[in-house]
Amino acid sequence: MDGRDLTARRLRREELLKLAAAAGGAVLVGGPTAAAHAARTQLEAESGRLQVLDWAGYGNDGGQSMFAQYVKKHPGNKPQFTYMTNESDALAKIHAGLSPDLFRPYVGWVKYFATSGLVQPWSPKLIPNFKHLNPFMVKAGQYNGKQYGIPDDWGFDAILYRSDKVHPKAKSWGLLFDERYKGKIAWFDDLEMITIAGLYLRFKNPWNQSDSELKKSQDLLKSKKHLVRLTWSSETNLWEAFGSGEVWIAYAWPNDWVQMKKKKLKVVYMHPKEKPIAWVGMFMLLKGSPRPRLAHAYVDAWSSAKSAKWLEDNYGYGHANTVARPSSSDLLRALQLTNPKAVTEPNAHLDRDIPRRATYARLWEEVKAS
């Protein structure tokens, strides 16, 4: 069987229909040979480097193993990266004119971007590894029945602390506000801090607080800001501060725990009693991308069991691919990787849409400026 037959065989019916629409029906009339030719033409039309907007550490600055399969298959379309510090930063870059083919916000932003007009749904059938992804996480990436987010990495927002220096009164988010450790605490530079305050204050829905609740959350953060040595947006900055002993307590992600253990520090990754916030990275496809098939191929590489195991072993994050398992039994326990619903109740609060996101962002900026 030659290459043309293989290409035709791999074309699914819906792709034939799309190609037929684009070619005025010639694909269906011409049969498999025409389909193969149309497929090759479509792939060839997707020229240039794939434009990826992602977080630091996931490009050619350490994350090459995650997309090695893609580079091997598409050496002429190697990814070119622009980095984002959070979703608000990514949104600002896109509004300022950046045109990535795909980017990776987290699950709490699925509805926002799905309704923004900036992204388009994926075609899961073009992602062979999609069938191995956690069904719960896959569903979390859907909006109105369409797959706007392809889940891949996941983890928790929780608390990292030095067990030889810090003695928590309780397993609580309150450790970030503990007066005993003034100057030894690090917060994360994100509006999620408003949500964390709401969790600590036991509000019914920290993601959709009333005006009075928002004031209480902001007042708490303002009153405790004097305790904070570092408000980090770069994990590298956090690692430097934590590793040097400048800070002992931090709002942190699983990779931060992994990195500090490598430094032989006595660290605990605490799940607060109010529960950690779980996040799931969601690849999204920008509307009008000139390289949609290449984007699907890139996400497929990211979704493989080989890439997933590398991520778990090296970055300490979970992966939506349910076949993968990390080498470390400690990490397996810390992330509860054998639990398909580790990211939701009763273990954690899955991050979600914030209806008044702009208000949360403004209040957080006011906290920082206070």
DSSP state, residue 133? B
Judging by DSSP bridges, how do beta strands 142-143 and 318-319 pair with one another? Answer: unpaired
**Position of tokens 């660290």?**
267
DSSP state, residue 321? B
Domains of the chain with bracketed CATH: 3-45 (no CATH), 51-152+278-330 (3.40.190.10), 155-275+351-369 (3.40.190.10)
Task: Give the integer Cα–Cα distance in Å for 206 and 212.
Answer: 12
Closest CA to 74 of 56, 55, 104, 52: 52
Closest CA to 200 of 228, 235, 176, 232: 176
Please report, in tens digits, the pLDDT of each residue of the chain (370 residues total). 433 333 333 444 444 344 444 434 444 455 555 544 554 556 557 999 999 999 999 999 999 999 999 999 999 999 999 999 889 999 999 999 999 999 999 999 999 999 999 999 999 999 999 999 999 999 999 999 999 999 999 989 999 999 999 999 999 999 999 999 999 999 999 999 999 999 999 999 999 999 999 999 999 999 999 999 999 998 999 999 999 999 999 999 988 998 999 999 999 999 999 999 999 999 999 999 999 999 999 999 999 999 999 998 888 888 999 998 878 777 677 667 667 678 888 889 999 999 999 999 999 999 999 9
pTM value is 0.79
Residue 19 phi, psi (nearest 5): -65, -35
Task: Give the integer Cα–Cα distance in Å for 76 and 49.
Answer: 7
